[in-house]
Amino acid sequence: MSPEARDRAGPRPAAAAAPHAGADRWAAAAVAARVVVGLAFVLSGFPKAVAPAEEFAAVIEAYYIPGLTEANILALARALPWVEVLLGACLLAGYRARLCAAAALAVLSAFLLSLASVVLRGVALEHCGCFGAALSLTPLQAILLDSVLAAGAVLVLRRKGGNWSLDRWIEAGTPP
Amino acid sequence: MGPFKSLKSQYGERVRVVFKHMPWGFHRWSKSAALASECAGRQGRFWDLHDALFTRQAEWAENERAPEVFYSIAESLELEPKAFAECLEDPLAAAAVDADFKEARQRWVNSTPTFFVNGRRFVGGRQLVTEGKREIERLLKG
Q: A53-88: per-residue pLDDT in tens?
A: 999 999 999 999 988 888 899 999 999 999 999 999
Give the distance from residue B115's alpha carbon to the nearest chain A alpha carbon, in angstroms: 11
pLDDT confidence of A3, banded at 50, 70, 90? low
Alpha-carbon distances, residue B79 vs A27, A155, B45 (angstroms): 71, 66, 8
From chain B, the residues in CB contact with A58 under 8 A are: 111, 123-124, 126-127
Residue B126: pLDDT over 60 = yes
Contact between B123 and A70 using a beta-carbon 8 Å cutoff: no
Which among B59, B64, B63, B39 is positioned nearest to B49, based on CA atoms?
A: B39
Helix (H) or strand (E) holding A74: helix A70-93
ipTM of the complex: 0.74
From chain B, the residues in CB contact with A62 under 8 A are: 124
Contact between A61 and B124 using a beta-carbon 8 Å cutoff: yes
Amino acid at A169: W
Residues, chain A: 176
Q: Which pLDDT does position B8 carry in this prediction?
A: 84
From chain B, the residues in CB contact with A55 under 8 A are: 108, 110-111, 123
Name the average pLDDT for chain A.
Answer: 86
Cβ-Cβ contacts under 8 Å between A and B: the total is 31
